[in-house]
Structure 1
C-alpha cells in the first residue's frame, strides 16, 4: 500500500538544548515502509517526562541533536511493507518508539505495534502507552503488589502516577499518594489518601498512616529523597525507582544521577534486611527482542482492556495540534495539569 500523493510529512525537531519555543516544525515527504515495517499515520502522541529531559540534554541515552522526539504514539496503519499482512492497513495501533513520535507519519517495525481495542479512542489510548506500560509492569511484574497491601506513589497526579494509583486500587491495594494540594480532592475520589509533597514531615505523615511501613514505594523523583523512600518500606517491602525528576534542571552529566541511583539500589540489595530495591526501565531486556515484544504486547493489552472495561480511566490534560508542540511542552512542564498533554496530527 502507498500513501496518497497529497499527503505531507510534518514533524517536530528538537535541534539542541533549547527552550520550548526553540522546537522546529519541518515538512517533507511521507516515508515508505521497508520490509517488515508499517507506516503509522499518527492520531495522538504525547509529552512525557522523557521529552522534558531530552530538551535539556538530560535523558540518559538520548541520541545526538537534532532529532524528532516523541516517546510513543497511537495511529492508523497507513501502508505496509514487504512481508507484512496488507490487512493490517486501516487498523488502529499503538507503538513505543522512544524517539520519532512527534510526526504525522512514523515508520515502525510491524512486530512493535500493539492493537488498540474497539471502543478506545486514540487520545485515551495514547495516555496509556508509556505511562500505562510503566505503571503495569512496576506494579505487577516488579513489586508484585497484592490485595490488602499498602503502597506509596510519589507524584500520584502525574502521567504515570495517575495510572499507577488506579491500577493499584483495582488490584485491591491501599494507596497513599503525594501531590500538590489542588489535586487532593481528585485523588480522594479515586480512593487514594493524599499527602502534600511539599510537607517537610512527609515521611512522618506516611508512617502515621502505615506504622509498620508500606509494602511498596514507587519513586520517580530520585535524588537524596530516595533514602526516605527506602526507609519507609515494611519488612519484605519493595522500592521501585523509575526516574530522577529531582535533577531535571541540573547541569553536568546526565548519566551521573542514574548511576548514583543504581549504586544505591545495588547497595541496598546487598544488605540482609528482607527488603528489595529496583530501578525500573521499560527497555530492560530489549536485546532479547522477541521476549521483550511479547511482554510489552501482553502487558499493554492488559492495560487497554482495563481501560475499555472502565477499571481505569484516561486523563487527557490538554489536546493541542502537533504544530503547537512548544505550547504543549510548556504546559506539561508547568506542573499545573493532571494527566498527559496530548498532541494530534
Structure 2
C-alpha cells in the first residue's frame, strides 16, 4: 500500500468527512450513452442531474477519458461481460476531485487522480470509490497520463508479472502502433529487451521511433520475417488479435517462452455470441499449458483478482505509479492520437476505430 492509500485508510478510520466544493446547485452531468448496438454516430450525449458522493466516494471532474478496444467491442455488444444497454462506456479516466463523501479526507479535493472504471468514464463528472484512486504527478498532462492508465497497467502487468521479461530477451508485440502495443514496446525497451512489432507499413516509422523493429502484418511472408528476427524463438509474444492467429503466436515462442493473450480483435465484427471467441481462446491456452513443452500461455484480464480487493488495489496502485513516474521522468512518450470533446464522442469513436492512428484517442471536457 502506498502513502496515498494509507492516508485514505487512516482518514476513513477516524471518520473525517468533507463536503463538495461545488455550488449549492450542482452543474448537470454530461455523459455519452450507448443506447444499444449502434454506429458511432448513434452514441447519445445526454445531461442528467448531479448525484452526491456517497460514503467512501469521490466525484472527479473528468479531464481526460480514453477510447479503448473494449469500448469498440461494447458498441457492438461483443465485450465479454458488458452491462445491459443502455449504459455509459468509459474504461478509465483522469480527473480532478471536486467532491468527497463521508469518511474521505477533504485534502483530496482539487488534486488529480487516475482511475479504472470499466464503464462510466465518458462523462463530465464521475463518482468512484476513493480506494481506487492513484494520484497523477503534477508535471504530467492529463491527456498524456490518460494514455497510460488502462494501457500502462495492462502493459506493465503483462510484461513484468506474467512474462517476466528481462534484459537480453527478445519479445514480439502485435499491434505495436496501438495504445497497449506502443506502451508494451516502450516498457520492454526500458526493461532491456529487444522488440519486434507488427503494424501496417504506414505506421512503421512510428514503431521504429519507439525502439522496435517493424514488420508488416499484411505481408504474405510475415511469419518468415518474424522468425528471421528471432531464429531461436521469442521469449515473450503479446497477442491482442486472438482467433486462429493465436496458433502462429504460440509457435513463434522459444523453448521456454511465454505467450500472453489479451484480446480477440480478429473476432470484433464476427456475428454471434460475445463469449464464444473468448471461451475458445481460453480452452486453447489451457490445452497448451497442459502440454510438457516448457512454454507458458496466459490470458490477461486486468480485473482478475478483484475479489481480493486489498491485494488487487495494492498491485494496481504500485504498477500504475511506476508507469506514471516513468512518464513524469520523460522515459515514456505518450501516444495521444487526438483530443476530442466529449460532445463529439461519435467522431472520436469513429477515428479510434479507423485504424489510421498511432496511440489513443482521448475524450476531453
State whether TM-score is above 0.5: yes
| Offset from partner CA, 1:211-258 (integer Å, 9 cap, x none) | 100100000000001000000000110000000000000110000000
Q: Give per-residue Cα distances to partners, 1:54-74, cap 9 Å, x unaligned.
A: 000000000000000000000
- Counterpart for residue 210 of structure 1: 230
Q: Does 1:259 align with 2:279?
A: yes
Give the length in aligned residue pairs.
345
Could you tell me which of 112, 119, 136 is aligned with 2:132? 112
Deviations 1:86-138 (A, max 9, x none): 11010000010000000001010000010001201110010000011000000
Match runs of 1:146-157 below 5 Å: 146-157=166-177
* 1:316–1:342 contact (8 Å) kept in structure 2: yes
User: Match of 1:34?
Assistant: 54
2:314 and 2:26 map into 1 onto residues whose CA distance is 36
CA displacement, residues 188-213 of structure 1 (integer Å, 9 cap, x when unaligned): 22221000000122111111111100
2:201 corresponds to which of 181, 184, 189: 181
2:305 is matched with which residue?
285
1:72 equivalent to 2:123? Answer no
- What TM-score comes out, normalization by structure 2 length? 0.94
1:6 Cα deviation from its structure 2 partner: 5.4
Stretches of 4+ moved more than 4 A in 1?
none
| Aligned-partner Cα distance in 1 for 2:65–2:154 | 16
- What CA RMSD, in Å, does the superposition of the two structures yield over aligned residues? 0.7
What's the counterpart of residue 16 of structure 2? none
Question: SS state of the match for residue 244, structure 2?
Answer: helix
Answer whether contact 2:182 2:210 (CA < 8 A) is retained.
no
Matched, 1:220 2:240: yes
Partner of 2:334: 314
In 2, Cα distance between the equivalents of 1:42 and 1:10? 10
Cα contact 1:100–1:106 (8 A) shared by 2: yes
Shift of 1:140: 0.5
Q: CA deviation at 1:311?
A: 1.3
Further displaced range: 22-31 or 66-75: 22-31
Query: Are the aligned partners of 1:154 and 1:219 in contact in 2 as well (CA < 8 Å)?
Result: yes
Is 1:194 the counterpart of 2:214? The answer is yes
Provide the residue aligned with 1:276 in structure 2: 296
Q: Distance in 2 between matches of 1:156 and 1:145?
A: 17
Q: State the Cα deviation string for residues 276-334 of structure 1 (Å, max 9, x = none).
A: 00000000101111111111000000000011111111011001100100000000000
Q: Does 1:230 align with 2:255?
A: no
| d(CA) in 2 for partners of 1:187, 1:77 | 36
Distance 1:189 1:95 in 2: 29
Equivalent residues of 2:157, 2:319 under 8 A apart? yes
Answering whether residue 132 of structure 2 is matched by residue 143 of structure 1, we say: no
Aligned match of 2:45: 25
Which ranges of structure 2 fall in alignment gaps of 5 or more residues? 1-18
Task: Indicate conservation of the 8 Å contact 2:156/2:187, yes or no.
Answer: yes
Q: Which residue of 2 aligns with 1:338?
A: 358
Q: 2:63: which partner in 1?
A: 43
Does the 8 A contact of 1:45 with 1:102 survive in 2? yes
For 1:125 and 1:189, locate their aligned partners in 2 and report how far apart those are by CA, in whole Å.
20
Structure 1 residue 31, shift from structure 2 partner: 2.0
Cα offset, 1:185, TM superposition: 1.2
Would the aligned equivalents of 1:31 and 1:106 in 2 still touch at CA under 8 Å? no
Q: Secondary structure at the match of 1:223?
A: coil
| TM-score, normalised relative to structure 1 | 0.99
Indicate if the aligned counterparts of 1:9 and 1:103 stay in contact, CA closer than 8 A.
yes
